[in-house]
Every structure is written in structure tokens, then in C-alpha cells.
Amino acid sequence: MIGHVSDFGLGRFLSIGMLDYSINQSSSLGIRGTIGYCPPEYGVGSEVSTHGDVYSFGILLLEMFTRKRPTDDMFKENLSLHNFVRRGLSEQVKEIIDPNLFQMQLNTDATSNHNHNFWITRNNIFIECLISTLEIGISCSMELPQERMNMSDVVAQLSSIRNKLVETSCQGKEKL
């Protein structure tokens, strides 16, 4: 449960001489981001773009829910954070996400067992929302820029997931 502050703006390094000409003109010199969060196309010389920001956001989302960094030692050869989550998403979601998330959910559920069926349903909705969130992370971190999700769709889907969780939480308070 470590907070991360991120800025996915298209940062560029400007040389002193270029500042005299125009604020709008810039040249990318050197590194274009942090290893593990940079999209693959930057490694082959592509220009910075909003697609790269989407990729970085997707990786950060996957990191937050799995508690695994994209540079973790377990990610070697063809295994990456993206592939790790994609492979385990369908049947092993409890094994790929941060165990603290499930522990927090179980502790919340354990505080009251007034309606056992409600808590089972709530747990299923929680898992459904986790899967949906991880699917967004996967979609944002696709290898090809044109396959990545549009950020306005990301916001809409994340809002929908949040609303579902809030609605479920409110129903739980009514049951108590």
C-alpha cells in the first residue's frame, strides 16, 4: 500500500539555445521515461505521444493492483507485468493481485456476518471489479500503440467500476 505520484505528460528536454527560438519547438534528448513504464515503441525511436502516456498509465495500474514492479526480477525473457496479468486474469486472479487487497476485503466482510449470502455476492462483485480494472490495465499496456485503449474510455470504465463498488457498499450498510 505505497502511494505513487505520476505525471504522464509529454515531457521533453530542451536545450538552452532552443528556448530562444520558440516555446513550441523542442527536441527530445536522451531518455524519454522510466524503464518499465516506457512504451516499447520508444525503444525503436518513435516520437513521444499520448499513446505512450496511456501505456505508462496501464503499467502503473497493473503495478498498483499486483504490487509487482515492471522491472521485477521475475519478469525475464518473454514474461512481463502485462503478460503476467493477462495470463493469470481468467482463472488465477487471486494469485496475481496484491494479497493485501483481498485481506482488506476479508477483514471488512468479517466484521459482520448478518447476511452470509450478501457477503458472498459482495465478494464476487469485488473480484469482478478487480478483473475489470486489470483488463483496463492490460488494454492500456498493449504493445502496439493503436491497440491501446482511449483515455476517455478508460475514465468512463473506471467510473463505472467505482459506481458499482459504491452501490454495493451502500447496499451493505442497509443490510446492517
Q: Pick the more confident residue, 96 or 116.
A: 96
Q: What is the pLDDT of residues 65-86, one digit of tens each?
A: 999 999 999 998 889 999 999 9
Domain boundaries, the chain: 49-175
Q: Which 3 state secondary structure label does DSSP give 8?
A: coil
Q: What is the pLDDT of residues 47-65, one digit of tens each?
A: 888 898 999 999 999 999 9
* pTM across the whole model: 0.76
H-helix or E-strand containing 56?
A: helix 50-66
pLDDT level of residue 28 (50, 70, 90 thresholds): very low
CATH 1.10.510.10 is right for the domain spanning 49-175: yes
Q: Which residue has the cell 496484491?
A: 98
Interatomic CA distance for residues 12 and 8, integer angstroms: 12
The mean per-residue pLDDT over the stretch 151-157 comes to 95
At a CB cut-off of 8 Å and minimum separation 6, what does 164 contact? 125, 128, 129
